Amino acid sequence: MKRHQDLEPRPRPGSRHLEFKPLHSQSSSSLLHLFSVSSHGSSISAIPLPHHALKPQHIQFSTSFSNSSLSHLFLFGFWDFWGVEGWGRSGEGEGVEEREMAASAGAGVTGGGGAGTGAGSTTRKFKLQRENELRVEVGMDSSLKLQLVSGTAEIFGTELPPMFWMTFPAAHKFAVFTWHGCTIELDGVSEVAYVADETPMVSYVNVHAVLERRRRRAKESLSSSDAPNSQRLEGNFFAGPRCIVVGPTDCGKSCLVRMLLGWAAREGWKPTYADLDIGQGSITIPGTVSATPVEMPIHPIEGVPLDLPLVYFYGHTTPSVNLDLYKVLVKELARTLDIQSASNPEVQAAGMVINTMGWVDGVGYELLLHAIETLRADVVLVLGQEKLYSMLQEVLKARPGVDIVKLHKSGGVVNRNSKYRQRTRVQKTKEYFYGLSNDLSPHSSVANFSDLQVYRIGGGPQAPRSALPIGAEPTADPTRVVPVGFSRDLLHVVLAVSFAQDPEHLLSSNVAGFIYINEIDMQRKKVTYMAPCPGPLPSQLLLAGSLAWTE
């Protein structure tokens, strides 16, 4: 078994980056079409972009072409034209499923990954026409293998390698999309596997085209401007797009975010991914607000490739536990990201893609507006709810430079019940300590109670009774740092290791990683904890919330 190399939130096994540090230690075929417009605007025709159109060298955004009959060329949705609704078109023809039975041992197809089908196993081939999508839900008790046999395809913006078996774990849900047709082979048990010819992918990639244009415009402005960095943060002119994806639960927000990040990375950008969804946690464990730069497409199985993550510990999976604390952490995240981007023009130009929670009513709507304002989002993508789109239009119409775009959710979005969500949270925590494939071995350590200090944010009295008017009762201070003594209540609790050097800075400091309390000896006053790596902790200051996990 491999040992962890550091304590900080780390990439999953097999990802590009083997270790990372916090941002702030203190606190194949064408993907699009060009549309040619005649000089009089009387006709429009579609022209396929070259192979691997999402690579920067193939999209020059130029209007000068040798063909004199093409007086104007533009990428669909290119000039900040947000008319993405209604432009999605279905593929031509239905997907064809072919079923094969391996007749003898060793029969079947073996891809570059070394996986194949054994005797008596069932493989299925799906032939997808252009702009078709294969939607798959892996069974709850077994894994599923997939390979691209022919053509080109992608999973949430990440291209699939040809003839290479990929193994998807149990309960995994994903969709394989092709722009110009492909053949996909599955090996294993799936609860659902079908081909759909109606998807919103064209509208999604149009959004990417607009964001790409803004990134290029920002890069040109930053490279040619003599304005100081402090001025570059004040207006949209000197910064790339800050795109926030909003919508109710189970509308496809996370999938769209992955597509936009993956497409941007394939263009050569390194956008910042900010995850405000404390309920699921796509960067690290649930109960955190976090951000990380993304410089490569997101792996379909391993998830977000991490580099220099910035993680703040909220400690709960719902913001209703402590609304004020959630707002404070979002502010701290935004402040640190602004500091980092101020000294890096490339980061400014690449912009940001922000994922949000699915709570969009009442207090959840208030938190959504707070996130838009705090992170200074200038592109708001609304998925799957007319009411939310209308409300945001009304509230944000007074803010100049903010575009609100309504998008349809994919028909392949799966509704997840509370049991499934809880299982996902448990799995994310387990992955942090043991890795995606249980190939990591965490380290167990024993410490005296006096060696560690545990704190909780919120719940302490705001002021003593003597300082209050007669008859007034003290109220809880949601942002007060309160010490927590060791007791059996901390057993099986996940604690965050803060970078703070004193308790006063716990609220504004990000965290180095997490430990798990697996034994408390009250008589000997010793605690046994599990950490990703051996050695002393970066800090003695620990943060507790309501996150618990039974190994």
Upper half-sphere CA count for residue 399 (Cβ side, 13 Å)? 18
The pair of three-digit structure tokens given for residue 440, joined into one six-digit string: 């990591």
- The domain made up of 96-196 has a fold known as Jelly Rolls (2.60.120)
Question: For the chain, what are the domain ranges?
Answer: 33-75, 96-196, 204-419, 442-544
Sign of CA dihedral 295, 299, 304, 305: negative
pLDDT tops 80 at residue 38? no
Interval 374-417: pLDDT, tens: 999 999 999 989 999 999 999 998 888 899 999 999 988 888 88
H helices present in 283-404, as ranges: 323-342, 345-350, 363-374, 386-396
The confidence score (pLDDT) of residue 550 equals: 85
User: How far is residue 165's CA from residue 185's CA, in Å, rounded to a whole number?
Assistant: 9
Task: Give the β-pairing of 403-407 and 379-383.
Answer: parallel
Percent of the chain topping pLDDT 70: 72
Distances (CA, A) of 544 to 38, 311, 434, 455: 64, 15, 21, 6
Known binding positions for ATP: 133, 173
Amino acid at 144: L
Prediction pTM value: 0.77
Distances (CA, A) of 298 to 213, 254, 428, 508: 22, 12, 17, 29
Residue 520 near residue 490, CB atoms below 8 Å:
yes
Q: Residue 310 burial (CB < 10 Å; 0-12/13-18/19+)?
A: buried
User: How far is residue 259's CA from residue 534's CA, in Å, rounded to a whole number?
Assistant: 37
CATH of 442-544, one of 2.40.30.330, 3.40.605.10, 2.60.15.10, 3.90.79.10: 2.40.30.330
Interval 296-351: pLDDT, tens: 999 999 998 777 799 999 999 999 999 999 999 999 999 999 999 988 999 999 99
pLDDT tops 90 at residue 150? yes
Q: Residue 39 burial (CB < 10 Å; 0-12/13-18/19+)?
A: exposed
The confidence score (pLDDT) of residue 267 equals: 95
The CATH architecture assigned to 204-419 reads 3-Layer(aba) Sandwich (3.40)
The confidence score (pLDDT) of residue 466 equals: 60
Mean pLDDT (whole number) for 220-226: 70
Q: Which strands sit side by side in the sheet containing 182-188, from one edge to the other?
A: 96-101, 122-128, 182-188, 144-151, 166-168
pLDDT tops 50 at residue 111? no
The confidence score (pLDDT) of residue 418 equals: 85
Mean pLDDT (whole number) for 215-230: 71
pLDDT tops 60 at residue 502? yes
Task: Count the neighbouring beta carbons within 10 Å of the beta carbon of residue 392.
Answer: 22
Domain 204-419 and domain 442-544, same fold? Reply is no
Give the pLDDT band of residue 485 (cuts 50, 70, 90): very high
Known binding positions: 133, 173
User: How far is residue 466's CA from residue 173's CA, in Å, rounded to a whole number?
Assistant: 57
Give the pLDDT band of residue 24 (cuts 50, 70, 90): very low
Give the pLDDT band of residue 60 (cuts 50, 70, 90): very low
User: How far is residue 93's CA from residue 135's CA, in Å, rounded to a whole number?
Assistant: 16
The pair of three-digit structure tokens given for residue 288, joined into one six-digit string: 């955190």
Residue 208 near residue 186, CB atoms below 8 Å:
no
Q: What average pLDDT does the chain have?
A: 78
